[in-house]
Amino acid sequence: MPKLSSNQLQEYNDNGYVAPIEVLTKDQAFEIRKEIENIETKWPNELKGAGRNYVHMISPILDEVCHNSKMLDAVESIIGKNILICGTTLFIKNPHEKGFVSFHQDATYIGLEPHNWVTAWLAITDANKENGCMRMWSGSHKDNIRHHEQKYDEGNLLTRGQTVENVPLDETIPLILKAGQMSLHHPTIVHGSGLNKSNDRRIGFVVQSYIGSNVDQVLGKMYVQQARGDDTFKYHQHTKKPSSLMNPKDIEIRKKANNDLQRIFYPGSTKKGSF
């Protein structure tokens, strides 16, 4: 199986990310875009706010992406063969809107311990400097969790606007991806992204994250699917694949999963962000 090469693995270990990894053809990526836009058209509120999470639970097409063998082969090289899908998020930036992502570390506020997990960012459209691709602070994953200011600022696509201050922007590396390519990043790498200044949408479908079955959720409850191997730890609630697009039973489970996710994101918090 075409797992990550030793050079790619070295890149991940040294820098905290690896890219690009070929996953889908441009046409396949476009089919995924059509599925997302079909949901947006037919069910206009479904993907808004917290609805950007767990979309794979209501769309067999998006679910299938999470089980893509090219993605899983690469992920297996990093976290081993017992792989769970513990969540997905759509990061969409529409043109001329204020969407951006402040510099942050994913491991903050997510409750997944130990850090045997990896985030897969799949480009559904091209992602480049003009439309606000992710930027990585290379090597920053080697430090511990840094202080995050909670800013709740307008346009920030993160839950609390959590921000690592004083990141040297000109030292960060843009992750330029073609539609269908993916990047993998480490739980503690500092990363973020700027505005979309292009005339088209920038869409990332993010498996957030693939976790080893030894990873527990210490802040709440998560809903997982087995992607590969076994789950002898049984820390999480396992769910089935969605049976059809927007099937009422799947919608119900997704609602539960999203409510539980809110408890993880905002434990005892008096203030809530849009997601």
Ligand X SMILES: O=C(O)CCC(=O)C(=O)O
User: Which of 76-84, 110-118, 200-208, 249-257 is the region at the interface with ligand X (rule: CB under 6 A)?
Assistant: 200-208
Note whether 103 binds ligand X by CB under 6 A.
no
Smallest gap from residue 106 Cβ to ligand X (A): 5
Note whether 134 binds ligand X by CB under 6 A.
yes
Smallest gap from residue 134 Cβ to ligand X (A): 5
Smallest gap from residue 240 Cβ to ligand X (A): 25
Smallest gap from residue 153 Cβ to ligand X (A): 15
Region 1-60 residues binding ligand X, contact defined as CB under 6 A: none
Note whether 101 binds ligand X by CB under 6 A.
yes
Note whether 126 binds ligand X by CB under 6 A.
no
User: Which of 36-44, 45-53, 140-148, 204-212 is the region at the interface with ligand X (rule: CB under 6 A)?
Assistant: 204-212
Note whether 105 binds ligand X by CB under 6 A.
no
Whether 224 and 239 have beta carbons less than 8 Å apart is answered as yes
Smallest gap from residue 138 Cβ to ligand X (A): 15
Note whether 121 binds ligand X by CB under 6 A.
yes
Whether the link from the prior residue into 95 is cis, omega within 30° of 0, is: no
Smallest gap from residue 119 Cβ to ligand X (A): 5
**Residue-wise burial string across 80-119, b where 16 or more C-beta atoms lie within 10 A, e elsewhere:** eebbbbbbbbbbbbeeeeebbbbbbbbbbbbbbeebbbbb
User: Which of 1-9, 203-211, 236-244, 257-265 is the region at the interface with ligand X (rule: CB under 6 A)?
Assistant: 203-211
Contacts with ligand X by CB under 6 A lie at 91, 101, 106, 119, 121, 134, 191, 193, 204, 206, 208
